[in-house]
Structure 1
Amino acid sequence: MKSGVNTLMAPFGGIGLSMQYHLDGFRAGDPSIASASAKTAKDAVDVLIVGCGPAGLTLATQLSALGDISVRIIERKPGPLEFGQADGLACRSVEMFEAFGFADRVIKEGYHVNEVSFWRPDDDGTPLVRADRIQDVEDDLSEMPHIILSQARVHDFYLESMVKSPSRLVPDYNQELISLTLTDGSDFPISATVGYVDRPGETETIRAKYVVGCDGARSKVRSELGLELKGKSARQLWGVMDVLCHTTFPDIRLKCAIQSADQGSILIIPREGGYLVRLYIELAELAPDERAADRGVTSDQLIEKARKILSPFDFEVAQVAWWSAYEIGQRVCDAFDDVMETERGTKSPRVFIAGDACHTHSPKAGQGMNVSMADAFNLGWKLAAVLHGQSCVELLDTYSKERRAKAQELIDFDRKMARLFSEKPKTKDDAARFQAYFKKHGRYTAGVETHYAPSLVVGDTSHQKLATGYPVGKRFHSGPVIRLADAKPMQLGHTLKADGRWRIIAFAPRSDMGDENGPVGTLCASLKELLQSVMSTDADVDALIDVRAVFQRSHRDMDFSKLPSLLRPQKGPLGLTDYEKVFCSLQQEHDIFRLRGINRFEGAVVVTRPDQYVSLVTPITGPAEIKEFFARVLS
């Protein structure tokens, strides 16, 4: 069995990547606090977000960082979340947190899922034996770990990022949506009537260009659109509790899947802090007309059930921090916006839904919060591009198409995962099926298998062989590099921040030393024309499309001063040189060209979207294809 530690993470994890600041002049104090924006309107906004769950806060954080987009986010609860029900953070989510700037805090506080233990009855009659213990995340699947951390803490990090953003965004609590009205021809075509939970009868009207419902499974926004969650419940009752306990069960600090002979199943998820543990406990099958609340489940019943499943091991609870009972169900909406399929191309979406508002499922695969945040990350940059006038409104149609396909994929996966976990193992082979399914879909549960179909923002795969490790339509898989200017070992993917910019990353052919007449230099000369054509004359050259390069030569053999100007641009009001756009590969097992299947002799160009998904792979000698792609995407 391999070690549970990702071998690429320790030496080149890149957590704590240094920020760039002082571009606009020296400024003392905390560099994470951005200069305030003057755009503070609250009754007429670019985007109104309903709900402060994971999706809503992800979207608000992304949009607030851009400064010149006015955002308002409302929440019917009286304040921030104090104790969240979701806790599993997939590797892909932690990659996203790095783009937002707080992955290091999540990694520091959270429980790291390194290994998974499988327990089931032995053929000799022993009630429970450890059948296997496997690595949770395969090597080089991601530079980030699988983390367990309270949803409330994730919310805290988002809220801190929002208040430090240029817009100084803070949610409006105790406010709920009452109704939405759309009026064509207005600058702010949506009128949202909002009520005050703590002041019954008092309302206000918020006008908005776009509204996004992130208001959960009972979404008012979804109701206003006339959409419904479609699907059915598995009729299986489960309990969940976070406890401080005394037990002789040896793997209590490992993620465990436990299937007993006749008492049901338990999924053990150790929590952050070293002592707390979460248990998902199988209870009973519900009748067709029965709901979870009808059973009157108590925490004592959950404890007693856990004892029976864990027998012959002792299990006593010192304190119950939180508990609940729920039924498994998988449901999804037909669309994630206010445009029906028959209207696509003739009507532009104005109202969107994300997260539990458009898809619900069981917590077994640990994907709920992760997929909800990914919904918002997909939508945020698209809204910003349209609001800034950089892209056509057709870009917004890709949100529902891309994310509904992902949600349906999750529903199908979750249904089978839940069924296999609940099956009573009759033989060792029967019990092993769940373990085999878990192993097979490890990439899926890590959140890295999302694959978007060709669209306005996903190109063709005609040149995929040049960079086989960067499949078009999948997330940009980071890899270790060394920055040329300061010899800093780091992760290349950590340069892809959530700032709304596209990235063009040129991987140089082996012979290229970086001079202006070489392959990358020639490419940069052509790309400079593209960048100047899509930006205003007073903007930095990388304000919309950020061009970077990775060379195969040792960083000590290269001369920064000979690089093309596009890779050492002068920016900001003081014309300061950006020294952080050029990298070199490391040697042997950590070589990014080898790790990501990049053609050493021809090189490759990888174009990534603002949400870090690969849009296009082209030859170094193919700037015309890049220009053609952006001619479609950028208005």
Structure 2
Amino acid sequence: MQYHTHGFNPGDPNVFAAAPGHRRAGDPLPETIDVLIAGSGPAGLCLAAQLAREPSIRTMLVEPKFGPMEKGQADGISVRSMEMFQAFGFAEKVMRESVWINETTFWAAGAESLLERVARVQDVPDGISEMPHVLLNQARVHDMFLDLMRDGPTKLEPDYGLKVVDLEIDPNAKDYPVTVTLEHTDLARLGQTTQLRANYVIGCDGARSSVRKAIGGTLHGDAAHHAWGVMDLLATTNFPDWRMKSFVRSQDAGILMVLPREGGHLVRLYVELDALGEHERVADRGMGADDIIAKAQRIFQPFKLDVKDVVWWSIYEIGHRLTDKFDDVPADQLATRTPRVMLAGDACHTHSPKAGQGMNVSMGDTFNLGWKLISVLTGRADPALLHSYSGERRAAAQGLVEFDHKWARVVGSKAPDTVTDGLPRVAREFVNNLPFTCGLTVQYEPGLLTGAQLHQHLAKGFEIGKRFHSAPVVRLADAKPMHLGHCVDADARFRLFIFAPANDTGTHGGAVDALCSWLQNDAASPICRFTATGEDIDAVIDVRAVFQQGFRALDYTAMPALLRPHVGRLGLCDYEKVFCADATRAGDIFDMRQIDRANGCIVIVRPDQYVGHILPLDARDGLSAYFANILRARS
């Protein structure tokens, strides 16, 4: 982490000096705003945390509730989300506070209909990520995003007690084309409305989204027609796997899932309740916490469950639904309009919580959107870039809905569990689905941001369109062992990783030096074209290099100037751009990611940690063309 770039910075390096001109929550409402976010769930907060870091963007987040969440809602955090949290800087805090899910067990009725453990499997496959799968109260995740917002230069905080009730878009207006009607929800001003105008509105306001309705969006799909109870509780039990993630299937009382929670004692239960009629809703049954407990006790028999305290509970029936489009632009106007209103999270896709993907996919939506909004609002990219949001994230959500359909049928099946290769069906399907539930199967199609796979063979382990699969390296300047992917911060910058060919030591005359010289000095290079005068040379595209030699075999001072840039107000040298393979410790990145040792390559990583393209080291035209499709030339 670098925090003396512009001069000595005492105190907490995560707290930025306040940028001028930004209102604080509770101040009079503005007449205009750059971005209005509706809803302070995980999608809204993930977006707000990104925007809060950009001093030039005025952001407002409205929430009808009167304060931050304290308990309940989601708790599963996939390894992909943990990688994202690393970019925000709080993955270590989450790992320290959370419970790690290392093993999953499966129970079913055995001899004399008594429950017995029928399988146990490793929850996160080896080598799939450096991050664990963890469980943590969603409220704590919210807290960490809220801290980032408050500590950022814009000092952003939610405006509680306000909700979006309607909006209108003037497609012909250049500035602030969205007129938003806000309504107060506190008793003192209940029902009072006010209006403001925004450049962009992002609806993160849940399955009953007012923003979605205002742009004519509809959730299509089916209802589950089955009630499930979820409960966070403190209890005593003789069930052996109380601190394991467990699937429990009784003979005839139904099924439940056990999810241990942070703190060593708290546990969450998902409990199958009753089937619902075609037109029946959960509320019609009048069920409560006692019904969840009683059903769980029946499923657990002959094990005992003595509930000491119920922390939170809910009964739900969630279908699998998806909206047609994640923005406001009609299909026949794509060439003439750019998005002004976009949807994220439950506002555009809903599903059951059985796969633990709701919070994770919602945050994935706005992690995809955040850097695009920043790029457009700061003038780095054309507004047409925002079209890519709906295309990329709707496809990801479609994959989730299809998976959830399949997995819900497996979990809820009443058929006998057939055993194949030593595993019952539920356990076998669980193992097959692990890459999906880890959040690692999203692959963006070739297009504006994702290149063709012509040169995929140069780095087979960095799949184009998928998330950048980090691997160990050693930083040359200080011999620090670390993960290369941890260089990708949530700062809206592209990363260009140069993997050096064999025998290239970065000195004059080598392929790395030639590429760096062109990037830094040639007017046709993307760095020269898209970095504005007065900006640091890495303000838009952050170039780093990885060499095959050990760190003792290389001379840092002989590296190209682009890899030793002088940045910030004082022109200080950045010593963190050059890395070496870590062949003696955790593994050689060139072997682990199947990088062509003879020729090396360029790997372009998007600001949201996805691989945008792979190119040969001499592909000057291809490199220029990739960025020319995304960024605006700057003077």
Q: Same fold (TM over 0.5)?
A: yes
Which residue is 1:217 aligned to?
207
Among 614, 618, 624, the residue aligned to 1:617? 614
| Structure 1 Cα separation of the partners of residues 49 and 477 of structure 2 | 31
Which residue is 1:23 aligned to?
5
| Structure 1 Cα separation of the partners of residues 21 and 106 of structure 2 | 54
Moved more, 529-538 or 362-371: 529-538
Which residue is 1:323 aligned to?
313
Q: CA deviation at 1:213?
A: 0.4
The 8 Å contact of residues 259 and 425 in structure 1, kept in 2 or not, is answered as no
| Structure 1 Cα separation of the partners of residues 117 and 415 of structure 2 | 14
Which residue is 1:422 aligned to?
412
| Structure 2 Cα separation of the partners of residues 602 and 388 of structure 1 | 37
Q: CA deviation at 1:248?
A: 0.8
Q: CA deviation at 1:126?
A: 4.3
The 8 Å contact of residues 6 and 570 in structure 2, kept in 1 or not, is answered as yes
2:45 partner letter: L
Which residue is 1:552 aligned to?
548
The 8 Å contact of residues 478 and 491 in structure 1, kept in 2 or not, is answered as yes
| Structure 1 Cα separation of the partners of residues 208 and 288 of structure 2 | 24
- Partner of 1:634: helix, strand, or coil? coil
Are residues 1:375 and 2:365 paired?
A: yes
- Partner of 1:556: helix, strand, or coil? helix
Which residue is 2:466 aligned to?
474
- Partner of 1:125: helix, strand, or coil? helix
Among 348, 351, 376, the residue aligned to 1:358? 348
Which residue is 1:268 aligned to?
258
2:80 partner letter: R
Which residue is 2:424 aligned to?
432
Q: TM-score scaled by structure 1?
A: 0.95
Are residues 1:571 and 2:567 paired?
A: yes
Per-residue displacement from partner, 1:558-588 (whole Å, max 9, x unpaired)?
A: 1000000000001112110000011111116
The 8 Å contact of residues 261 and 426 in structure 1, kept in 2 or not, is answered as no
Q: CA deviation at 1:218?
A: 0.8
The 8 Å contact of residues 119 and 424 in structure 2, kept in 1 or not, is answered as no
Structure 2 counterparts to residues 229-248 of structure 1, below 5 A = 229-248=219-238
Q: CA deviation at 1:277?
A: 0.4
Which residue is 1:61 aligned to?
49
- Partner of 2:263: helix, strand, or coil? coil
Are residues 1:590 and 2:587 paired?
A: yes
Among 326, 333, 336, the residue aligned to 1:346? 336
Which residue is 1:524 aligned to?
516
1:193 partner letter: T
Change (3 A) 1:238 1:201: closer
Q: CA deviation at 1:23?
A: 0.9
Structure 1 consecutive aligned stretches of length 4 or more whose deviation exceeds 4 Å: none
Which residue is 2:70 aligned to?
82
Q: CA deviation at 1:313?
A: 1.1
Among 161, 165, 174, the residue aligned to 2:152? 165
| Structure 2 Cα separation of the partners of residues 53 and 69 of structure 1 | 21
Structure 2 counterparts to residues 132-143 of structure 1, below 5 A = 132-143=119-130
- Partner of 2:369: helix, strand, or coil? helix
Q: CA deviation at 1:204?
A: 2.4
Per-residue displacement from partner, 1:333-384 (whole Å, max 9, x unpaired)?
A: 0000001222222211100010000000000000000000000000111111
Q: CA deviation at 1:186?
A: 3.9
2:485 partner letter: G
| Structure 1 Cα separation of the partners of residues 335 and 396 of structure 2 | 22
Which residue is 1:312 aligned to?
302
Moved more, 523-532 or 571-580: 523-532
- Partner of 1:280: helix, strand, or coil? strand
Unmatched 5+ stretches in structure 2: 24-29
2:153 partner letter: P
The 8 Å contact of residues 72 and 232 in structure 2, kept in 1 or not, is answered as no
Unmatched 5+ stretches in structure 1: 1-18
Which residue is 2:18 aligned to?
36
Name the % identity: 49
| Structure 2 Cα separation of the partners of residues 401 and 125 of structure 1 | 53
Among 385, 400, 412, the residue aligned to 1:410? 400
Which residue is 1:399 aligned to?
389
Which residue is 1:46 aligned to?
34
The 8 Å contact of residues 113 and 251 in structure 2, kept in 1 or not, is answered as no
Q: CA deviation at 1:185?
A: 2.3
| Structure 2 Cα separation of the partners of residues 579 and 613 of structure 1 | 25
Change (3 A) 1:77 1:555: same
Per-residue displacement from partner, 1:195-229 (whole Å, max 9, x unpaired)?
A: 21111243322211100000001111001011111
The 8 Å contact of residues 510 and 600 in structure 1, kept in 2 or not, is answered as yes
| Structure 1 Cα separation of the partners of residues 306 and 44 of structure 2 | 38
The 8 Å contact of residues 259 and 424 in structure 1, kept in 2 or not, is answered as no
| Structure 2 Cα separation of the partners of residues 314 and 328 of structure 1 | 29
Among 549, 558, 564, the residue aligned to 1:562? 558
- Partner of 1:179: helix, strand, or coil? strand
Are residues 1:627 and 2:621 paired?
A: no
Among 114, 117, 123, the residue aligned to 1:127? 114
| Structure 1 Cα separation of the partners of residues 345 and 297 of structure 2 | 35
The 8 Å contact of residues 40 and 70 in structure 1, kept in 2 or not, is answered as yes
Are residues 1:512 and 2:494 paired?
A: no
Q: CA deviation at 1:427?
A: 4.6
Number of paired residues?
616
| Structure 2 Cα separation of the partners of residues 234 and 351 of structure 1 | 29
Q: What is the RMSD computed on CA atoms of the aligned residues?
A: 1.3
The 8 Å contact of residues 498 and 546 in structure 2, kept in 1 or not, is answered as yes
| Structure 1 Cα separation of the partners of residues 9 and 228 of structure 2 | 54
Are residues 1:501 and 2:499 paired?
A: no
The 8 Å contact of residues 549 and 581 in structure 2, kept in 1 or not, is answered as yes
Which residue is 2:476 aligned to?
484
| Structure 2 Cα separation of the partners of residues 400 and 265 of structure 1 | 36
Change (3 A) 1:318 1:201: closer
2:75 partner letter: D
2:471 partner letter: G
- Partner of 1:205: helix, strand, or coil? strand
Q: TM-score scaled by structure 2?
A: 0.95
The 8 Å contact of residues 260 and 424 in structure 1, kept in 2 or not, is answered as no
2:592 partner letter: L
2:385 partner letter: L
- Partner of 1:633: helix, strand, or coil? coil
The 8 Å contact of residues 417 and 426 in structure 2, kept in 1 or not, is answered as no
1:494 partner letter: H
- Partner of 1:365: helix, strand, or coil? coil
- Partner of 1:246: helix, strand, or coil? strand
The 8 Å contact of residues 467 and 597 in structure 1, kept in 2 or not, is answered as yes
